[in-house]
A and B are shown apart, each in its own frame.
Chain A
């Protein structure tokens, strides 16, 4: 299986009050539990990223709950109003509780 790797895009700097777009993607097969393995004919058990949490300076700002209907390599884009410099932390939670994180700093001038 491909390695699960998060990728995020946050502007390095922003003007105060500017609404910036944050993009986050994680490479993950998002097994729905419905598809079959072509070699063995057995069902691949469900394993998806079910939750995404974005926080800024320790405060949760945006969360997304994913269902199996979300595509492989789940991508999410959302707005954020820049008001002060700080660091974003992104967390993805997989079925079974495994967590993947990434963080990015943003400077507000």
Chain B
């Protein structure tokens, strides 16, 4: 019992510290938890304000993730992957995690196809946005919602 009480004291202290950190984060313009606005800002930063098209990206995400600690995220993009027409980079973002970025990938024409698969952590039910940067400077995006039963943020 004693130990439990000790734990709760520490977590309260941590909670306060986190509040302080959140306050500091707001000052520099980064919210403690990312939201749609953070993702939108991130996309704007990546695209430089260019308009983003839809389509061409196929997402493979579970509708419901039982465990937010490892959620499969896979995508494939229809592209000829030739030296003058290929997918340069793909950014994966999530709007309900402490930070919007999940991962980014850089592709080269030698790969012959554009797809990738990895596993990510999701803190709660949220939208996943995949933004692709083409070699001609245009952007495409796709979005999907994943329902998370148990969050995967630790602590």
Interchain CB contact under 8 A, B119 and A77: no
For residues 4 through 32 of chain A, which have their beta carbon under 8 Å from a beta carbon of chain B?
19, 32
- Write out the residue numbers on chain A whose beta carbons fall within 8 Å of the beta carbon of B107: 62
Known pairs A74-B119, A80-B111; A65 contacts B155 (CB<8 A): no
Q: Does A106 contact B (CB under 8 A)?
A: no
- Write out the residue numbers on chain A whose beta carbons fall within 8 Å of the beta carbon of B6: 41
Q: Does B118 contact A (CB under 8 A)?
A: yes
What per-residue 1/0 map shows which CB atoms of B1-23 lie under 8 Å from chain A? 00000110011001000000000
Q: How far is the CB of A38 from chain B (nearest CB, A)?
A: 9
Q: How far is the CB of A24 from chain B (nearest CB, A)?
A: 10
For residues 88 through 109 of chain B, which have their beta carbon under 8 Å from a beta carbon of chain A?
94, 97-99, 101-108
Interchain CB contact under 8 A, A69 and B119: no
Q: Does A56 contact B (CB under 8 A)?
A: yes
Q: Does A67 contact B (CB under 8 A)?
A: yes
What per-residue 1/0 map shows which CB atoms of A42-83 lie under 8 Å from chain B? 010000000000001001111111111111101111111101
Interchain CB contact under 8 A, B105 and A62: yes
Q: By DSSP majority rule, is chain B's interface helix, strand, loop, or mixed?
A: mixed
Q: Does B115 contact A (CB under 8 A)?
A: yes
Q: How many residues of A are counted as interface, with CB atoms below 8 angstroms from the partner's CB atoms? A: 31
Interchain CB contact under 8 A, B110 and A77: no
Interchain CB contact under 8 A, A81 and B113: yes
Q: Does B147 contact A (CB under 8 A)?
A: no
Interchain CB contact under 8 A, A65 and B118: no
Distance in angstroms between the alpha carbons of A83 and B112 in the assembled complex: 10
Interchain CB contact under 8 A, B155 and A36: yes
Interchain CB contact under 8 A, B103 and A66: yes
Interchain CB contact under 8 A, B112 and A81: yes
Interchain CB contact under 8 A, A79 and B111: yes
| Chain B interface residues (CB < 8 Å from chain A) | 6-7, 10-11, 14, 69-71, 74, 81, 94, 97-99, 101-108, 110-122, 152-155
State the 6 A-B residue pairs at the shortest beta-carbon distance, nearest first: A81-B112, A35-B154, A41-B10, A71-B119, A79-B113, A77-B117
Q: 25 A–B contact pairs at CB < 8 A? A: A19-B113, A32-B98, A32-B121, A34-B155, A36-B11, A41-B10, A43-B14, A43-B155, A61-B111, A62-B111, A64-B103, A65-B103, A66-B103, A69-B101, A70-B118, A70-B120, A74-B118, A75-B118, A75-B119, A77-B117, A77-B118, A78-B111, A79-B113, A80-B111, A81-B112
| Chain A interface residues (CB < 8 Å from chain B) | 19, 32, 34-36, 41, 43, 56, 59-72, 74-81, 83
